[in-house]
Structure 1
Amino acid sequence: MVAESAKAFEALEAQARALLDLFARAGYEPVAPAIIQPAGVFLDQVGEQVRSRTYVFTDLAGEELCLRPDLTVPVSRLYLERHPDAGAQARYCYNGPAFRFQPLGPSATHPREFRQAGIECFGAPDKESADVEVLLLAVEAVKSAGLREYWLRFGDIALFYALIDALQLPERWRLKLRHYFWRPPVFHALLARLAKGERPDSDGLAGALAEKLAGETQEAAEETVAAYLDRKGIPLAGNRSLREIATRLLDHAADLRAAPLPKEVATVIDYYLAVSAAPREATEKIAMIAKGAGLDIDPGLDAVLRRFDRLERDGIDLTRATFATEFGRKLEYYSGLVFQVEAAGLDENEPVAGGGRYDNLLAALGAPRDVPAVGSAIHTERLLAAVEKVSP
């Protein structure tokens, strides 16, 4: 058993060295960001699905920290340390561990500690070319490791945002639908409730407190919530800040008084999010839905089509690919293209590689402006298992 573990570790290390060599030859500088990161940075940016699986702890000085659940945010922070004005182009590559709680228990394809080898491209002004560059390099990387049978899954967050904007919804509905996009069951339940004009449950402590906050400013709401927690002796700890709690309660209060979402709008969104097909077929369906609803999302759709054209010219076989409008991966900092590489024997929730565009993340981390950014990470244990045809 010890010999087998040592052999597996050696194989994983050899694979990682080969991947980093490939990335370095492509112009990506190797970096090694810290494993321990400020918890607030991740809890604010990665989204609900990863937030709930992040290992958070408080050190002896009282600072809330976490074991990094991915490497994109740490590499982004490293970029800002080197370029505080966020005005430089940079390409970085890395290999190292990440950590996530596994609610169904750890397994070979879902370990608590796993390794990621990846690339991040910052500040490239030609977003389309950078998207294609990163995706092609991710595919080249898994192929160079020996993966032969694979499929590609694509999505595009920007196209969904274009649809929501074209529907001319009230701002709070747009923000709410954007926020829940990454959790399809919750999203569709919300959409159905909005269309029916159903009010959220106002019973219980949260509902009663939300009623009291109705019409208050953010600052006043935070004071009210702080006073309530103090009276009840409830400590402010864990994954939510006072500001976030107050914001959610204000949102809940607004929902209690909101007008229903027009049913035809909900129908268009449902039709759009049901599209999952080969890339060309999927874009044709999206164009038909938009035309039928009288919506102009041509700029976003044209960008998607140009990207597919370039990928095809560069050797990507789109007959082995799917474009799914509901696909957004699990990290909520994505803002445009998203993709993943899936291997035989592993399901959609066990990709060997994935990535996408995240133009808003750097500003959220403290950059003075939005920074064009796109990257990809390879789950090296899964890749090795797929190459060696090891059963999950």
Structure 2
Amino acid sequence: MASKAQTLAQAERLFAFCRNSGAQPVQTAVLQPAETLLDLYGEDIRARAYVTSDPLRGEQMLRPDFTVPVVQMHMDDGGDPARYTYMGEVFRRQERDPNRPNEYIQVGYELFGGDDPAAADAEVFALFSEMLSPFGLRAATGDIGLLLAAVQGLATTDKRKAALTRHIWRPRRFRALLERFGGRSPVPESRKRLLADLDRHGVQAVLDAAGPEIGLRSRDDVAARLAALQADAAEPPISVAQVELLEDILSLRETSLNALAHLRDIAVDMPAIAPALDRMQARLDALAAQGIDVDLLDFEASYGRTTMEYYDGFVFGFYAEGRPDLPPVASGGRYDALTRILGRGRAVPAVGGVVRPELVLTLTEETAQ
């Protein structure tokens, strides 16, 4: 295993590569305000981050990644376009796998602004592809924007679409909701009884019979939830055809050009995804212009669904196929919506990625053997 000094030396080399590619070096605080991250990710982030408390600054988190603070910095006073690079430690709690590090170094490259998102996506991907070219890694790509568009194209209520959208990054929960909204999963007996009581007696009577209020939710909160359950139960299920189209998209794994052709066929019956496919075509053209062989570039429609939840467009990762035990050596994607949230309504196009120096060092040592 490489020492920390060796990893830092490798990080410096990667950092220099990014600087030489035109990026401005920046740094962010190791301690980040917990409020910002909780607003973005909800309480789930506590399971993945180290939380501490400061008597003056309130709850703080050890930096789980760089993207959020770099976006905040740029939205406060950055120019357009702008390219940044950074190097430093990030911290992630590991509750299941003791072999995964809870502290490691990242080197990143972020591109903000510009008037050609496809070209920006291609620039960032090509930078990491060139950086990692000595190792023969497999590149995987996806598009969260395609999945978001597919959900928005479903013929169902806005509330159902909002619930599915919220859980795009939680595949098991998303699957359970899709099964429920599609009428495939049986309604639990307890919910059947509750809905029957609501139909017979109404929300207020059911609440009155429930006993004293316990917990943080107010009576109004619970009443709103009961009314929402009742309204949803009255809605027809999402059609079998639309559920199958969405499942077809989610399961798609092909080379990029073949994937695009298949998705064009799906778009005949799901036209809401057509703009996302036009963006995908533009991105593939831009990647080809950067020298990327798009004929061999893998596309996985569900790729990126278990990463940080701010990605909302193109996503990518680089993997050592001979080392399936290793996480992605580098990964990244587009996160326009995050700039809108942290920019208080002002948004700019943004895409970036990170590389793990200790993994690059591992591959360097293996290549030399």
TM range (shorter): 0.7 to 0.9
Post-superposition offset of 1:140 = 1.8
RMSD: 3.4
Q: Which amino acid aligns with 2:14?
A: L
- Show the 5 A alignment for 1:146-295: 147-196=134-183, 232=214, 255=232, 258-291=235-268, 293=269, 295=271
Structure 2 unaligned runs (5+)?
A: none
Kept in 2, the 8 Å contact 1:56–1:66? The answer is yes
Secondary structure of the corresponding residue to residue 344 of structure 2: coil
CA displacement at 1:250 relative to structure 2: 7.9
Instruction: Name the CA distance, whole Å, in 1 between partners of 2:126 and 2:226.
Output: 44
Does residue 27 of structure 1 match 2:43?
no
Q: CA deviation at 1:251?
A: 6.2
Partner amino acid for 1:284?
A: A
What amino acid does structure 2 have at the position aligned with 1:191?
Answer: L
Post-superposition CA distance 1:117-159 (Å, at most 9, x none)? 001111222211111111111112223xxx4220111111122
Distance in 2 (CA, whole Å) between partners of 1:180 and 1:248 is 18
5+ unaligned residues in a row in structure 1: which ranges? 217-223, 225-229, 237-243
CA distance in 2, matches of 1:371, 1:248: 35
SS at match of 1:116: strand
Tell me if the contact between 2:256 and 2:296 (Cα under 8 Å) persists in the aligned partners. no
Structure 1 residues 79-116: Cα deviation after superposition (integer angstroms, max 9, x where no partner): 23334xxx643211001011111122332xx2000111
Deviation of the 1:294 alpha carbon: 5.4
Matched to 2:62, the amino acid is L
Among 304, 311, 317, the residue aligned to 2:280: 304
The 3 A distance-change label for structure 1 pair 69 and 151 is same
Q: Which deviations, in whole Å up to 9, do the C-alpha atoms of 1:233-292 show, x marking residues without a partner?
A: x689xxxxxxx999988866754554422222211111111111111111122122222x
The CA deviation at 1:305 is 2.0
2:97 to 102, 105, 110: 105
Q: Which residue of 2 aligns with 1:142?
A: 132
Asked whether the equivalents of residues 152 and 272 of structure 2 are also in contact (C-alpha less than 8 Å), the reply is no
Report how far residue 315 of structure 1 moved: 2.2
Find the residue that maps to 2:332 and give its secondary structure: strand
How much has 1:200 moved relative to structure 2?
A: 6.5
**C-alpha spacing 1:286/1:383, structure 2 compared with 1 (3 Å):** same
Any idea what SS the aligned residue of 2:132 has? helix
Q: Which amino acid aligns with 2:156?
A: L
Q: Out of 319, 324, 347, which is 1:342 matched to? A: 319
Aligned to 1:353: 330
Q: Report the number of matched residues.
A: 352
| Equivalent-residue separation in structure 2 for 1:356 and 1:215 (angstroms) | 45
Report the identity percentage: 34
Write the distance in 1 (CA, Å) between the matches of 2:224 and 2:95. 28
Give CA-to-partner distance per residue, 1:218-246, whole Å, 9 cap, x none.
xxxxxx9xxxxx964x689xxxxxxx999
Is the contact made by 1:38 and 1:66 (CA closer than 8 Å) also made in structure 2? yes
TM-score normalised by structure 1 residue count? 0.79
Change (3 A) 1:15 1:248: farther
